[in-house]
Amino acid sequence: MEQAQNDPFVPESAIAAGGVTLLTLDNWETVKTTGYGGIPCPAGHYCPAGASEPKPCPTGSVRQETLGRWEADCSLCPRGYYCPDLSLVPEPCPAGHFCPLGSSAPRPCLGGTYNPHLEGSSTSSCLTCLPGYLCPGEGNEELAVENQCPTGHYCLEGSQQGIPCPPGTYGDLPGLSSEEGCTASGKFCPVEGLSEPGDVCPEGHYCPSGTAVPRKCLQGTWCPEGSGEPQQCPPGAICPVGSAIPQQCPEGYYCPHDQSFPVACPAGYKGSDDRSDTSSLETGCSLCPPVKPSAFLFYARRPTARQRVALSKDK
């Protein structure tokens, strides 16, 4: 067979064997038998002198044109993009990731950060998770409703998981950003992480914000059911430790605020008629009035004869 001047060279032995295949840019990847004929080096590859097959561009690089000759003809993947092996076109870096120069795959933003934008090029593209939100795990994209801090917890800046509201408090709203958002008053919360109030504070006790165990009402105060703070015992009443209601000071007594029990009015005193204030001796007791003598008729009896004799003997 006589070959034309511009035809690819084909050895006589191959011609004799038959089944000659000429390589093209369309079939070079699928030809399983030996092919003949020089073709332009395909995109995504480079072909040194004497190459029998193209060499893929290194990981993290790309070549969109044909006729690459050297490895240097493959360009590093630009910032904000990634270039998988044998890629012909750089892919935009997806949200939740960043792609520095020469990336072959996106790198996820770390836990506690997020990136809602495409084409992130460095760790600075990953934003710190906002207070009141969670950014668990890696590759967080947007701060959506499902990222809000769950009820019973609060989430500081850069949180990957919520912090339970401490015992004595509860958080009934999502998205709390600090411990101050956990509140309770008039109820007690015996465990952490509650999303709703605990039991009502029992009578004789008070439960200020942050109460895990009800506190007994102190002497001189009283606490109805559901009290957040104790109330001062009113004048004219007595409030022992654990009082649910003030007790009226009994008649004949006065009731100082610093005493748990009534004090009897001393001798010469009686309970005051006005019982509106019995907090002291002066207000709870009054002096007894002087006794008026009865109008009796007094007279002297003359001694009898026997009494006179006895008196004379004594002289």
Closest listed residue to residue 60, CA positions, set 26, 93, 28, 30: 93
The band of 297, judged by pLDDT with boundaries at 50, 70 and 90, is very low
Q: What is the pTM of this model?
A: 0.52
CB atoms inside a 10 Å sphere around CB 176: 25
Least confident of 25-29, 74-78, 82-86, 239-243: 25-29
In angstroms, the CA 267 to CA 279 distance is: 18
Rounded distance between C-alpha atoms, residue 21 and residue 147, angstroms: 60
What mean pLDDT is predicted for residues 35-61?
78
Question: Is there a domain that residue 201 lies in?
Answer: no
The pLDDT tens digits for 114-125 are: 999 999 999 999
CATH number at residue 251: 2.10.50
Residue 2 is predicted with a pLDDT of 44
Position with higher pLDDT, 284 vs 49: 284
CA angle (263 as vertex; 259, 268 as ends), nearest 5: 150
CA angle 99, 103, 109 (to 5 degrees): 35
Q: State the average pLDDT over residues 83-87.
A: 84
Residue 4 has a pLDDT of: 40
Q: Phi/psi of residue 45, each to 5°? A: -140, 170
Using the predicted structure, report yes or no on whether residue 275 has a pLDDT greater than 90: no
296 in a domain, yes or no?
A: yes
Q: Give the pLDDT of residue 257.
A: 74
- Burial code (b: 16+ CB inside 10 Å, e: under 16) for 217-233 equals bebbbbbbeebeebeeb
How does pLDDT run across 216-231, given as a tens digit for each residue?
Answer: 998 888 888 888 888 8
Span 182-201, pLDDT tens digits: 876 566 666 666 666 667 78
* Mean pLDDT calculated for residue range 281-299: 72
Task: Lowest mean pLDDT of 59-73, 164-178, 186-200, 265-279, name the range.
Answer: 186-200
Higher pLDDT, 13 or 142: 142
CB 149 within 8 A of CB 155: yes
Query: Region 304-310: what's the mean pLDDT?
Result: 65
Residue 260: inside a domain = yes
Count the alpha carbons within 13 Å of 107 in the hemisphere toward its beta carbon: 18
3-state secondary structure of 229: coil
Note whether residue 180 is domain-resident: no
Domain count for the chain, please give it. 1
Quote the distance between the C-alpha of residue 61 and its chain's center.
Answer: 44
Contact 139, 145 (CB under 8 A): no
Residue 205 forms part of a structural domain: no
- pLDDT confidence of 33, banded at 50, 70, 90? low
Full domain range(s) for residue 240? 229-304
**Tens digits of residue pLDDT in 130-178:** 999 999 999 999 998 999 999 989 999 999 999 998 877 778 889 999 9
* Of 240 and 183, the one with more pLDDT: 240
Specify the higher pLDDT residue, 238 or 34: 238
Residue 34 tokens, joined: 């030996």
Query: Does residue 275 lie in a domain region?
Result: yes
* Residue 181 pLDDT: 86
Is 259 domain-assigned?
yes
Distance of CA 250 to the CA centre of its chain: 52
Q: Is 204 inside any structural domain?
A: no
